[in-house]
Amino acid sequence: MNEDRRKLRDEVYSQMMLAQARLSKDANTQMGAVLVSGDGRVLSTGYNGAPKGFDDSTVPYTREKQKLAYDLLDADSGELISHHEFEANKYPFMVHAEINALHYAHGKVPPGSKLYVIGFPCERCALEIALSGVSEIFVAKDDYDPNSSLNNCRDTAYYMFAQADILVTICGKRMRPVISKCR
Ligand SMILES: Nc1ccn([C@H]2C[C@H](O)[C@@H](COP(=O)(O)O)O2)c(=O)n1
């Protein structure tokens, strides 16, 4: 593919993922992702949020912890066994945008596929991306709010991309991570 065509695709799919991000209910950071085959077909899209089926009114969407409660009922009689209260913030509940995009591709990720994401993937997502068979990722942004979890160290994620031979474009720079020796 020539350079102009690649740039045009990157622009078009970046706009799509930014539009996807607008659907996120995260109070601080809205992320979007678009998965595209090597021949330019959109395979799937995603944004960050609680899994399908979760009740949004009872899921935290903030960095601050909230009080949450649940009951354990006897599955047969419906009688209360125990009541529990705890505190949690959004982080354990948020499916990241890239994971939603990969999940809704239902395992159909042809070689040459490219995943467009707004923010640099965390190491758990990097592992899933490596597992998925994606060949390339495009990261739109490199500057995040200082309190965002997106500022975490990227070494493990890059190392995983090197292992899986995944190209990384970040802020317009296209790179091939490769495993190296400690000096
Ligand atoms: N590569 C990433 C990293 C994070 N997230 C999600 C998890 C949270 O919902 C939000 C980050 O929140 P915050 O900026 O408040 O740490 O973005 C995501 O979808 N994709």
Query: Domain-by-domain residue ranges, the chain?
Result: 1-48+94-173, 54-91
3-class DSSP assignment, residue 1: coil
What ipTM describes this predicted complex?
0.94
| Predicted local distance difference test score (pLDDT) of residue 110 | 96
Q: Which atom of ligand 1 is nearest to the CA of 94?
A: 9
Q: How far is the CA of 74 from the centre of ligand 1 (A)?
A: 36
The Cα–Cα gap between 127 and 129 comes to: 5
Q: Which atom of ligand 1 is nearest to the CA of 121?
A: 1
Tokens of 5: 């065509």
| Predicted local distance difference test score (pLDDT) of residue 77 | 98
What is the 3-state secondary structure of 5-56?
HHHHHHHHHHHHHHHHHCCCCCCCCCCEEEEECCCCCEEEEEECECCCCCCH
pLDDT < 50: residue spans in the chain:
none
Residue nearest ligand 1's atom 12 by CA? 29
Q: How far is the CA of 36 from the centre of ligand 1 (A)?
A: 21
Strand partners, 71: 83
Rounded to 5 degrees, what are φ and ψ at 97? -55, -45
| Predicted local distance difference test score (pLDDT) of residue 29 | 95
| Predicted local distance difference test score (pLDDT) of residue 50 | 98
| Predicted local distance difference test score (pLDDT) of residue 1 | 83
Closest by Cα among 94, 95, 96 to 137: 96
Q: How far is the CA of 81 from the centre of ligand 1 (A)?
A: 36
| Predicted local distance difference test score (pLDDT) of residue 34 | 98
The fold adopted by the segment(s) 1-48+94-173 is: Cytidine Deaminase; domain 2 (3.40.140)
Q: What is the DSSP letter of 95?
A: B
| Predicted local distance difference test score (pLDDT) of residue 98 | 97
Q: How far is the CA of 182 from the centre of ligand 1 (A)?
A: 31
The Cα–Cα gap between 157 and 119 comes to: 12
Mutate to test the pocket of ligand 1, among 17, 18, 22, 29 (most ligand atoms within 8 A of CB): 29
Mutate to test the pocket of ligand 1, among 149, 151, 154 (most ligand atoms within 8 A of CB): 149
As to burial, measured by CB atoms within 10 angstroms (0-12 exposed, 13-18 middle, 19+ buried), residue 116 is: buried
Residues with a CB atom less than 6 Å from ligand 1 = 26, 28-29, 31, 48, 63, 90, 94, 96-98, 117, 119, 121-122, 125, 148-150
| Predicted local distance difference test score (pLDDT) of residue 143 | 85
| Predicted local distance difference test score (pLDDT) of residue 160 | 98
